[in-house]
Amino acid sequence: MNTDLVQGELSADQQQNLLGLIQQFHQQLPFLIDLTAEDRRTLPKLGDKSRAFVDQGLVLVGQNPEILPRSFDIDEYRRDVALVKQLEPLVLALRQLLGKLEDTFIAVGSDAYSQSLLVYQAAKLAGKNGALEQHLDGLSRRFARKASSPATVAPASASG
């Protein structure tokens, strides 16, 4: 297993600056919402074919606004279509950044865990005389199995 996949540092100031930038990002997009899991599942999705459909619908409305009921807000429709096009590059860029951030988090976590296993093995060898017992107790909790509930014993069947 390859260890030391990530070599980097993040100072407390850098972390605070990045969190501040994320907060600024949120402030620039005050209309962002949180959907429920049910909403995510049930709302129609805008895929490649749907994008063409939306674009064609916008052209149709521009050329034939009279076909729509009076209650249809054409300006809101145009704003929605425009916002989709404006948000798309942000979503794509942030997905790419988030993917790299998550991959780095996984890899550096793996590095830290693998190195901790080596520390644990070395401590077990060096602590045979009891000098590291307190540390070993703490480290060994990671591998402790939960006590299973007592097995229920089936009643013996009467033979006759």
Q: What is the mean pLDDT of the chain?
A: 89
CA atoms of 72 and 55, how far apart (whole Å) = 17
Residue 155 or residue 124, greater confidence: 124
**Mean pLDDT, rounded, for 142-152:** 67
Average pLDDT over residues 99-122: 93
- pTM listed for this prediction: 0.74
Q: Is the pLDDT of residue 120 over 80?
A: yes
Judge whether 74 and 65 are in contact, CB under 8 Å. Answer: yes
Q: ∠ at Cα 143 (141, 148), nearest 5°?
A: 95
Provide mean pLDDT across the span 56-66: 96
Specify the length of the chain in residues.
160
**How many angstroms separate the CA atoms of 148 and 137, rounded?**
21
| Residue 153 binned pLDDT confidence (cut-offs 50, 70, 90) | low
What the block records as the tokens of 58 is: 């916008």
pLDDT at 145: 77
pLDDT reported for residue 142: 79
Q: Which residue has the higher pLDDT, 59 or 157?
A: 59
Tokens matching residue 18: 């990045």
Segment 134-141 shows an average pLDDT of 82
Strands (E), the chain: none
Structural contact between residues 57 and 84, judged by C-beta atoms closer than 8 angstroms? no
Write down the pLDDT at residue 53. Answer: 94
Helix axes 48-63, 74-126, angle to 10 degrees: 160
Nearest to 55 by CA among 78, 28, 37, 39: 78
Q: How far is CA 96 from CA 72, 82, 92, 135, 136, in A?
A: 37, 22, 6, 40, 41
Percent of the chain past pLDDT 90, that is, above it, reads 68
pLDDT at 28: 97
pLDDT at 36: 97
Helix H segments across the chain?
12-28, 37-42, 48-63, 74-126, 133-140
